[in-house]
Amino acid sequence: MNNHSKKLPVVMTIAGSDSGGGAGIQADLKAFTALGTFGTSAITCLTAQNPSEVRGILAVTPAMVTLQVETICAFFRVAAAKTGMLYSAAIIEAVAMTIKRRRIPWLVVDPVMIATSGARLLRRDAVSALCNLLLPLADVITPNLPEAEALYGQTIGTRRDMESAAREIGARYRVACVVKGGHLPGQTVTDVLYHSGHIYFFRSARLRVSTHGTGCMFSAALTALLARGYSLPEAVRDAKRYVHGVLKRPL
């Protein structure tokens, strides 16, 4: 990290609030701070949840989501942004229009669809809006295996399947794509990055702990590192290390 700028970049998360503190904007802001950036947030939904269940979801109006993003961008020079839980087609449309207007240098899209507990965090009728309006604006997409299967349209059961999915999704939306392999069995977790026609593999030992919020942590860490000037492969590598380090210190 010694070769990277020590200036504190401003980053933004556009995502839901997790009352349990383990995922959503709470996890994002912790990652932003830990990795040397100044975090801002636009809340899309309030959730009543803890690591084992989601009891309720209250969506913020699309106009209020837009106002939050515009107000942040009116004051700060945002170096990178990420999206997480967006929930509805109307919110996705509002976010896409605002991102397009503001031209933020880096956009990381974590295509949050289902919580670790099984609760649906993206309405079924919003998937097409995600694919048609937001993914084409992204620089990087970070799906887990179920999300990658939804975007890829095929079952992913092996590392070779992950590689094919990353290539297909990346080529389709003209973005970099990180397919996270935590849902595959085995003692090692392998993530696959497709970037500029190349494939990269990132491996770590599997930890037998709760994985609630790990997708949020990873995409937020990636956003922070990109804002600090890391190359994409470097940022993926160190974002994965950050998440692994957090998981080694469970509550």
| Degrees, nearest 5: CA angle 178-184-189 | 60
β pairing state of 140-141 and 10-18: unpaired
Give the separation between CA 5 and CA 7, rounded to whole angstroms.
5
How many residues are present in the chain? 251
Answer yes or no: are the C-beta atoms of 33 and 62 closer than 8 Å.
no
Catalytic residue among 142, 181, 216, 240: 216
Task: List Cβ neighbours of 57 (8 Å cut-off, separation of 6 or more).
Answer: 16, 45, 46, 47, 48, 87, 119, 121
Per annotation, catalytic residue among 20, 39, 170, 180: 180
Handedness of CA 154, 160, 162, 163 (dihedral sign): negative
List 37, 116, 211, 223, catalytic entry? 211
Which pair of tokens denotes residue 46?
């309030």
Residue environment code for 61-96, b if the CB has 16+ CB neighbours within 10 A, otherwise e: ebeebbebbeebbeeeebbbbbbbbbbbbbbbbbbb
Active site residue 180: yes
Examine the residue annotation and report whether 211 is marked as an active-site residue of this protein: yes
Angstrom distance (rounded) from CA 156 to CA 123: 22
Q: Which of 47, 84, 213, 223 is catalytic?
A: 213
Question: Catalytic: which of 16, 22, 84, 215?
Answer: 215
Collapsing DSSP to helix, strand or coil, 251 comes out as coil
The answer to whether residue 216 is catalytic is yes
Whether the CB-CB separation of 40 and 108 falls below 8 Å is answered with: no
Say if residues 244 and 54 touch (Cβ distance below 8 Å): no
Catalytic residues: 180, 211, 213-216
